[in-house]
Amino acid sequence: METLSGTVSNFATTKFDYPVSKSRPRKTVYTERFEIGGRKIRYEAAQPLKSQALNEGDEVMVAGVVQNGTFNALALKNFTTGVASHQSFFFMFLGGMLFSSAGIFVLIAYGSQFLGGGLLGLAVLAVFPGIFFLFSGGLLYFGYRTVRAVIAVRAGPVSRLHS
């Protein structure tokens, strides 16, 4: 987890609407792009930041990870306006727990039947619940990473910032 603080410059907001299809509802993603000390920052969320949340020249602190040369912010705090924002982590934790439970259910309910099927049954027993556990692990990891970013921003400096 990395944190950055400084003055916002080159601020821009984009909105992307995923096309509507029969299998999934409409989804809108808002992306805020700005720079702190010449470093490119990207903050993506399902809802736009409030108009006072981030403006050119504001003193902010962001926490996140670097991916493909861009700092992806998971949480931010604007010291100029006092507004804080972060990506959602509740549903990541909830989904991780549900998928873990589903994997455990498959192991308990059908494990003895798969084991009776010989080598093929053992392979199915390893792969099928394994998919649930891998997916739940990913969701729990991303939720944990976002919580760490929120904690880092909340524990950040409250008066003077350095870029």
What is the per-residue pLDDT for 88? 87
What's the pTM? 0.81
**Which residues are CB-contacts of 101 (< 8 A; sequence separation ≥ 6)?**
none
- The whole-angstrom distance between residue 98's C-alpha and the CA centroid of its chain comes to 18
Per-residue pLDDT reduced to its tens digit, 13-54: 888 887 777 776 777 888 999 999 899 999 988 777 776 678
What is the per-residue pLDDT for 161? 42
What is the per-residue pLDDT for 162? 46
Q: Around Cβ 86, how many Cβ atoms within 10 Å?
A: 20
Q: Which domains does the chain have, with CATH numbers?
A: 2-88 (2.40.50)
Per-residue pLDDT reduced to its tens digit, 98-151: 999 999 998 888 888 877 777 777 787 888 889 999 999 999 999 999 999 999
